[in-house]
Amino acid sequence: MHTLDEVRLDLPHLVTALPGPKAQQIIQRDGAVMSPSYTRSYPLVADRGEGAIIHDVDGNRFLDFTAGIAVVSTGHCHPKIVEAIRAQAGRLIHMSGTDFYYANMVDLAEKLAMLAPGDMPRRVYFGNSGTEAIESAIKLARYHTGRGRFIAFFGSFHGRTMGSLGLTGSKSVQQKGFFPVMQGVHHVPYANCYRCAYGKTPDTCAVECVKVIEDQLFRHTVPPEEVAAIFVEPVQGEGGYVVPPKKFFDELRTLADKYEILIAADEVQSGMGRTGKMFASEHFDLVPDIMTLAKGIASGMPLGAMVARADVMDWRPGAHASTFGGNPVCVSAALATIELLEQELVDNAARVGAHMKARLAEFPRKFPIVGDVRGLGLMIGIEIVRDQATKERAPDLRDKIERMCFERGLLVLGAGPNSIRLSPPLVITKDQADHAVDTIEECLNTICR
Ligand SMILES: Cc1ncc(COP(=O)(O)O)c(C=O)c1O
């Protein structure tokens, strides 16, 4: 006899205590040999995946609302992606696109150039990860402008190599022990309207978070003519899934143009349909000069891209390259990913995301520890606080919810000090979205009881 739960293969089903016996063995071996720098929030040992479902090594089934950290945009092992990878692997696995030509890399570059916000010509550089896309953007911005400094935002995450780490303003532990990272980065508060650094409300806001750049930085410490670019996430990801108001980007563009500074939009997490538009910048009519992509671009194959205005990407042969960047198999996966996104998944992200957000929007009224619910499409953050009036952060409660969800077969992760991040594959159904919201609600009910 099957229980109702067992026949719903699209929903979680747990058959062992967690972690199960096989998972325990692997975790023990991992602990002896893997880099201790990795952070694991709970003991999930993945074995295989399909759509929004992950099966662990003990036969437990989980609903994945992490998408491998916003990566498997088309779901786990989408048949069309698997087929694209197989076909390309049987034809050509590698030839180094920086030294030779092959067609699918050009196909993908043309596609990204066409999709990028704005109607000016674009050029594309390929790397293998988000941080490499950022490093290439840093180098291009310096090369093109002849300027050395950058502006970035507190709470931002741009990567962990020495240049991108210099831009990252997320957690000081990420910087600890690594000084000096790339110098010349000046951080200012992000447009986080729930926690306005200037004590303003949306009614009284005069976009102080952009004004401070001109009124304080440029006046006291940073000559604007030395600033190459402003790096900004259109929706702050690791910082807590923070969505700024449109006027933030309007003011940023005005300021950047005034001083001939480039805007580099880091769409590594917010891009590729996650927010219900192909790129989050489109929600704000932001036309970036440079845009960085990775994560969701190839459904789990390692690929990063930097898309820049053609007149900005004016560096010479030899200025920058990567052996593996634009690997043909990853490129094939990216082309298949974009096809699926355009066919239906960007729309699905918008539709299911709006449904989820409407339900989650009730939570601050229902639960005193939910301070804020925000997001676009399937990039949704829930901020957990000790008290709605003081907004005191409650990282311990956030961690507890994360763990409780895991014990109920729902995979979620944190973002920022005290927010829950919902970043499921863009293939999720309304039923799966409802199941996730019900599970989180059950955890909140237990904690607030
Ligand atoms: C906005 C953003 N930029 C850059 C990165 C770095 O990407 P990667 O981990 O692929 O180097 C991340 C990773 O989380 C990110 O969210």
90 CA distance to ligand 1 middle (Å): 30
Backbone angles phi, psi at 358, to 5 degrees: -65, -40
Share of the chain above pLDDT 90, in %: 98
In ligand 1, the atom with minimum distance to the C-alpha of 134 is 4
Residue 8: pLDDT band (50, 70, 90) is confident
Encode pLDDT of 288-323 as tens digits.
Answer: 999 999 999 999 999 999 999 999 999 999 999 999
What number of other Cβ atoms are within 10 A of residue 410's Cβ? Answer: 27
Domain span(s) for CATH 3.90.1150.10 in the chain? 4-77+345-448
Residue among 158, 164, 165, 330 to mutate when testing ligand 1 (max atoms within 8 A of CB) = 158
133 CA distance to ligand 1 middle (Å): 9
pTM strictly above 0.95: yes
The whole-angstrom separation of Cα 418 and Cα 166 is 23
423 CA distance to ligand 1 middle (Å): 14
Say if residue 114 is exposed, middle or buried (CB neighbours under 10 Å; 0-12, 13-18, 19+).
exposed
Q: Is the pLDDT of residue 326 over 60?
A: yes
209 CA distance to ligand 1 middle (Å): 23
Atom 3 of ligand 1 has which residue's CA nearest to it?
Answer: 158
Say if residue 30 is exposed, middle or buried (CB neighbours under 10 Å; 0-12, 13-18, 19+).
middle
Q: Between these two residues, 6 and 195, which has the higher pLDDT value? A: 195
Average pLDDT, rounded, for the chain: 97
Residue 3: pLDDT band (50, 70, 90) is low
Q: What is the mean pLDDT of residues 27-42?
A: 97
Residues with CB under 6 A from ligand 1: 129-131, 134, 157-159, 233, 237-238, 266, 268-269, 294
In ligand 1, the atom with minimum distance to the C-alpha of 304 is 10
Q: Between these two residues, 5 and 39, which has the higher pLDDT value? A: 39
Q: Is the pLDDT of residue 1 over 50?
A: no
Q: What is the mean pLDDT of residues 130-157?
A: 98
Encode pLDDT of 89-100 as tens digits.
Answer: 999 999 999 999
- Helix then strand count (H, E) for the chain reads 14, 15
Q: What is the pLDDT of residue 117?
A: 98
Q: What is the pLDDT of residue 6?
A: 53
Q: Assign a CATH topology to domain 82-341.
A: Aspartate Aminotransferase; domain 2 (3.40.640)
In ligand 1, the atom with minimum distance to the C-alpha of 238 is 16
Residue among 66, 72, 131, 322 to mutate when testing ligand 1 (max atoms within 8 A of CB) = 131
Domain span(s) for CATH 3.40.640.10 in the chain? 82-341
Encode pLDDT of 100-111 as tens digits.
Answer: 999 999 999 999
Q: What is the pLDDT of residue 7?
A: 65
Q: Scan for tokens 């750049």, then name that residue.
A: 213
CATH 3.40.1180.10 for the 4-77+345-448 domain, yes or no: no
Q: By the 8 A CB rule, do 301 and 275 touch?
A: no
237 CA distance to ligand 1 middle (Å): 9
Q: To 10 degrees, the CA torsion angle through 434, 341, 234, 135?
A: 130
Encode pLDDT of 184-231 as tens digits.
Answer: 999 999 999 999 999 999 999 999 999 999 999 999 999 999 999 999
